Amino acid sequence: MNYTFDFSVIWNNIGLFTAGAFVTIRLSLIAIAFGLILGIVGALFRTSENRFLNWLAIAYVEAIRNTPFLIQLFFIFFGLPNLGIKLTAEQAATLSLAVNFGAYSTEIVRAGVESIHKGQVEAGLALGFKPLSVFRYIVLTPALSNIYPALVGQIILAVLFTSVVSQIAAEDLTFAGDYLNSRTFRSFEIYFTISLIYLAIVWLIKGLTYAIEKRFFEFAKYRR
């Protein structure tokens, strides 16, 4: 093997990687926040007795879960402009990630909601709680404790999915690596470094979510 490792290309362009990592984190946070809202609304529709809302949620979930994320990304970035909806690469990336995360989190949240006994809801209503309060305190909070591990796993996948958005020139971490590789051809050093950065981001997420679990959902193991 005649290949000579040269990591100076990384140190000389550390600002490029930092900027790309920042975009990746920003995309992830915004997409996860809006995707979780979509997931909660989707779960409400999915468990609704209104057949139209139920069908709407099923159609949304099935359409997203049974098509590749890359195609969804291309449809939003390249397809929507034909309908007069023009988005920047970063806007299209955020919307695609949010819609995708929302579909998967819909089923996760639905499973959590359905894990709550109807008797608990009926008891809350009988005690005079408003429907919104019943949903928030009797349904949503315990349900989140049940689905928390699955939701964290989906959050991590959403972060890793951001690596695909470089295909539409969203300037994330992978885009930074591709750009630098096209000019230096130091593929091993560049993609090895990017892998380590993604790994660090995921470890950070795991640490934060573990702290949140200990802080807010510690009661769950006693309740169960």
d(CA 197, CA 39): 28
What's residue 103's pLDDT? 96
pLDDT band at 126 (very low <50, low <70, confident <90, very high): confident
**Quick check: 191 and 176 in contact, CB under 8 A?**
no
Mean pLDDT of the chain: 90
Alpha helix positions (H), the chain: 8-11, 14-46, 51-65, 69-74, 89-114, 118-126, 131-133, 141-161, 173-184, 187-216, 219-223
For residues 87 and 212, which has the higher predicted lDDT (pLDDT)? 87
- Calculate mean pLDDT across residues 111-132: 81
pLDDT band at 191 (very low <50, low <70, confident <90, very high): very high
Q: Does position 63 have pLDDT exceeding 90, yes or no?
A: yes
- Calculate mean pLDDT across residues 19-35: 96
What's residue 122's pLDDT? 80
Q: Which of 38-42, 129-133, 215-219 has the lowest mean pLDDT?
A: 215-219
Q: Does position 222 have pLDDT exceeding 80, yes or no?
A: no
CATH of domain 8-223: 1.10.3720.10
Q: Does position 142 have pLDDT exceeding 50, yes or no?
A: yes
Nearest to 88 by CA among 184, 193, 180, 165: 165
Q: Which of 16-20, 130-134, 146-150, 155-159 has the lowest mean pLDDT?
A: 130-134
**Quick check: 46 and 61 in contact, CB under 8 A?**
yes
Q: Which of 17-21, 56-60, 78-82, 117-121 has the lowest mean pLDDT?
A: 117-121
d(CA 193, CA 43): 39
- CA torsion through residues 201, 202, 208, 211, sign: negative
**Quick check: 165 and 87 in contact, CB under 8 A?**
no
What's residue 219's pLDDT? 53
Q: What is the pLDDT of residues 144-183, one digit of tens each?
A: 788 888 999 999 999 999 999 999 999 999 999 999 999 9
Q: Does position 104 have pLDDT exceeding 90, yes or no?
A: yes
Question: Which residues have CB under 8 Å from 72's CB, separation 6+?
Answer: 64, 96, 99, 100
Q: Does position 24 have pLDDT exceeding 80, yes or no?
A: yes
What ranges do the domains of the chain cover?
A: 8-223
